[in-house]
A and B are shown apart, each in its own frame.
Chain A
Amino acid sequence: MKLSLGPVQYYWPRDVLLRFYKEVAASPVDIVYLGEVVCSRRHEMRLPDWIEVAQRLREAGKEVVLSTQVLLESGSDVASMHRIAEQEEFQVEANDMGAVRCLSGKAPFVAGPHLNLYNADSLQWMAGLGARRWVAPLEMKRTDLAVLQQSRPPGLQTEVFAFGRLPLAFSARCFTARHHNLPKDDCRFSCIADPDGMLLSTREGEPFLVLNGIQTQSARVHSLLRDFESAAAIGVDVLRLSPQAKSMMDVIGLFDEVRRGTRSPEDADRQLRALLPGAECNGYWHGRAGLENAAAEAR
């Protein structure tokens, strides 16, 4: 099974990003998704910068994919998406149907996790447009994915979001700006101060969500490390690991050891827990509420 590194969801300073991807180049991930997927106001990196990082990762032997922004609101958001879709050097992950339109019939692409492909009819359609890989919706349970795997169009790989805070929602509002009492259009780029987002807790102090600009994430960290075997059993091709600010290379290392069989999922999971910015969860995979932490089921 391959490991992929999803796009960085947070606003990290340029030098932090460049240092991070230098480490990624030497890490055991097979596929790297690059680009800004959350907010067009984040300008530490522009497309030429991403292409440069992409070239270096390719030289290091990685498959590189450029991801498009999930929510396209303005004309300039659409124009940025066009620039990514029109470059021919790297494959593209489409995170909106507008991007799918620009890529279909042109080059093979990856259908991102926010396209809402929940059933065989939609998957067939997407494969016919030229998708060579698709990422299952976050909410999808293992048993539903197993059904889809059986009728999967030939040549279409399946990727599953297997690690990281879950990108649960996208909004008209910037919650980081709102927290600082700033309008969205004058946000002063305040989310750069929160490399793992801002924790939102209930009034009983229970960590619930993480605010990351216009995106809302889970406070708990979704992990399918213990469920590795059940993902392998249904023929998942790629596990996606979503970057967090600290210890990401160690996280990648643990998933790598499990896929190589040099460490048991249970042992790796014990190690993993010490590296997480929040409690662990895997409920979606087990057909339960996403925040639940269910025991692994072997299959």
Chain B
Amino acid sequence: MSPAPTVTDSAAAARPFELVCPAGSLPALRQAVDHGANCVYLGLRDATNARNFAGLNFDEAAIAAGVSYAHSSGCKVLMAINTYPQAADPKPWHNAIDRAVDLGVDAVIMADPGLMRYAAAKHPRLRLHLSVQGSATNYEAINFYHEQFGIQRAVLPRVLSLEQVRQVVDRTPVEIEVFGFGSLCVMVEGRCALSSYVTGESPNTHGVCSPAKYVRWQETPAGLEARLGGLLIDRYAPGEKAGYPTLCKGRFDVGDEQSYYAVEEPTSLNTLELLPQLMKMGVCAVKIEGRQRSPAYVAQVTKVWREAIDHCLREQHRYAVKTGWMAQLDQLAEGQQHTLGAYHRPWK
């Protein structure tokens, strides 16, 4: 085993801090660029990316237009090719890597080691980011991908405490990107098969969790019911706000506890208040979740986060979250609630 590389404070401090924003469509990409994203991330309209939602994502012409638009403002384009190529036909994934190079994207975000090997061998100058779907939560795993494939950045799954993030950053030369805002996934990404257990399709295999084609809504005397693959995920009382039936965000019965969010509440992760700490510990980028969201959503979230990051970069010691920022983000949050998630240890 080789000794873990360390990163000095000054090296960490010299790194830029990037705001990475979601682009589920060309209009969303333009909004992100116009409102101050340093990077946008996008994917093809197929199972090669982990947000394979109907009606979203990009064809090649749209990527070309997006790259041109982003680059003219100095914004980078990252392309997510972050599902696992399936055994019977890995060609679409190989093609996606080749297209990414032809289209001039700045980096590809990947999870599959076989695909990374293909990319590193065929396109040695292509910048590789390890996707959150790669489930790398510790420095050994991240440094391994670095040694094997030359990855330059890793996105951490949303399961580590702030101190654990610090430990990872301290022991890897790889840039670390963390999630800052958006829907909260409490499972380790890349290690969750709940969706395929219910529907046969999962983020790893089909690039989608709780796919819309398996969702059924039904008005009943007991209330509005939301089903996924026939299973009752939630039932809403009259006047109660209904959410998308993501299977881990339903209300269930466990033991003598009836009808509670046994796995996860509908709430959004929001780490605005952790910004100074994230910067100080050498995290290099913060990612906004939400390729399935509207261009207006992307515009508002990007605007608030740009302002907060600029404020924090200017005066880290005097940084305080403005109530206006929080109010705007809570409007956009799932269930109008936010949490620090796993960054915050007492979280239940």
Pairwise interchain contact A137-B204, C-beta atoms closer than 8 A? yes
Q: How far is the CB of A91 from chain B (nearest CB, A)?
A: 17
Q: How far is the CB of B265 from chain A (nearest CB, A)?
A: 10
Stretch in contact with the other chain, from B11-19, B107-115, B275-283, B289-297: B107-115
Is there a chain B Cβ closer than 8 Å to A121's Cβ?
yes
Is there a chain B Cβ closer than 8 Å to A199's Cβ?
yes
Is there a chain B Cβ closer than 8 Å to A236's Cβ?
no
Q: How far is the CB of B170 from chain A (nearest CB, A)?
A: 10
Stretch in contact with the other chain, from A13-21, A25-33, A71-79, A265-273: A71-79
Question: Could you say which residues of chain B place their CB within 8 Å of the CB of A216?
Answer: 187, 194, 263
Distance between Cα atoms of A241 and B222 in the complex (Å): 41
Q: How far is the CB of B339 from chain A (nearest CB, A)?
A: 11
Residue from the set A77, A126, A290 with the largest chain B CB neighbour count within 10 Å: A290
- B247-289 interface bits toward A, Cβ cutoff 8 Å, 1 = contact, 0 = none: 0101111110111001110000000000000000000000000
Question: Could you say which residues of chain B place their CB within 8 Å of the CB of A143?
Answer: 88
A102-B1, A118-B112, A170-B187 known; A140 vs B200 contact (CB < 8 Å): no
Is there a chain B Cβ closer than 8 Å to A256's Cβ?
no
Question: Could you say which residues of chain A place their CB within 8 Å of the CB of B117?
Answer: 121, 125
Q: How far is the CB of B329 from chain A (nearest CB, A)?
A: 21
Q: Which of B140, B232, B262 contacts A211 (CB 8 A)?
A: B262
Question: Could you say which residues of chain A place their CB within 8 Å of the CB of B342?
Answer: 172-173
Is there a chain B Cβ closer than 8 Å to A123's Cβ?
yes
* Complex interface residues of chain A between 113 and 139 (CB less than 8 A to chain B): 114, 116-126, 137-139
* Complex interface residues of chain B between 159 and 217 (CB less than 8 A to chain A): 159-161, 164, 167, 186-188, 190-194, 196-200, 202, 204-205
Is there a chain A Cβ closer than 8 Å to B346's Cβ?
yes
Pairwise interchain contact B192-A168, C-beta atoms closer than 8 A? yes
Count B interface residues, CB 8 Å: 75
Distance between Cα atoms of A96 and B341 in the complex (Å): 23
Pairwise interchain contact B112-A122, C-beta atoms closer than 8 A? yes
Stretch in contact with the other chain, from A3-11, A41-49, A281-289: A281-289
Question: Could you say which residues of chain B place their CB within 8 Å of the CB of A77?
Answer: 138
Is there a chain B Cβ closer than 8 Å to A58's Cβ?
no
Distance between Cα atoms of A138 and B159 in the complex (Å): 22
Q: How far is the CB of A251 from chain B (nearest CB, A)?
A: 21
Residue from the set B137, B147, B160, B231 with the largest chain A CB neighbour count within 10 Å: B137
Question: Could you say which residues of chain B place their CB within 8 Å of the CB of A99?
Answer: 140
Distance between Cα atoms of A209 and B262 in the complex (Å): 10
Question: Could you say which residues of chain B place their CB within 8 Å of the CB of A118?
Answer: 84-87, 112, 204-205
Pairwise interchain contact B87-A145, C-beta atoms closer than 8 A? yes
Pairwise interchain contact B202-A139, C-beta atoms closer than 8 A? yes
In the complex, which residue of chain A has the Cβ closest to the Cβ of B144? A101
Is there a chain A Cβ closer than 8 Å to B78's Cβ?
no
Is there a chain A Cβ closer than 8 Å to B129's Cβ?
no
Question: Could you say which residues of chain A place their CB within 8 Å of the CB of B231?
Answer: 202, 206, 208
Q: Which of B90, B158, B198, B250 contacts A119 (CB 8 A)?
A: B90
Question: Could you say which residues of chain B place their CB within 8 Å of the CB of A122?
Answer: 84, 112-115
Distance between Cα atoms of A209 and B193 in the complex (Å): 12
Is there a chain A Cβ closer than 8 Å to B143's Cβ?
yes
Stretch in contact with the other chain, from A59-67, A174-182, A223-231, A242-250: A174-182
Question: Could you say which residues of chain A place their CB within 8 Å of the CB of B115?
Answer: 121-122
Is there a chain B Cβ closer than 8 Å to A200's Cβ?
yes
- A203-239 interface bits toward B, Cβ cutoff 8 Å, 1 = contact, 0 = none: 1111011010000101000000000000000000000
Q: Which of A116, A172, A211 contacts B111 (CB 8 A)?
A: A116
* Complex interface residues of chain B between 91 and 143 (CB less than 8 A to chain A): 111-115, 117-118, 134-141, 143
Q: Which of A114, A123, A168, A179 contacts B262 (CB 8 A)?
A: A179
Q: Which of B111, B112, B137 contacts A71 (CB 8 A)?
A: B137
Is there a chain A Cβ closer than 8 Å to B348's Cβ?
yes
Pairwise interchain contact B345-A185, C-beta atoms closer than 8 A? yes
Distance between Cα atoms of A147 and B85 in the complex (Å): 13
Q: How far is the CB of A295 from chain B (nearest CB, A)?
A: 17
A98-B138, A179-B255, A204-B232 known; A287 vs B200 contact (CB < 8 Å): yes
Residue from the set A102, A216, A288 with the largest chain B CB neighbour count within 10 Å: A216
A170-B187, A185-B345 known; A200 vs B254 contact (CB < 8 Å): yes
Q: Which of B135, B147, B232 contacts A203 (CB 8 A)?
A: B232
Q: What residues make up the interface of A, taking CB atoms closer than 8 Å to B? A: 70-75, 77-78, 81-82, 85, 96-102, 114, 116-126, 137-140, 143-145, 147-148, 166, 168-173, 175, 177-179, 181-185, 198-206, 208-209, 211, 216, 218, 283-284, 287-291
Contacts A178-B348, A290-B200 aside, 4 further interface pairs with beta carbons under 8 A come to A73-B164, A169-B194, A201-B254, A203-B232
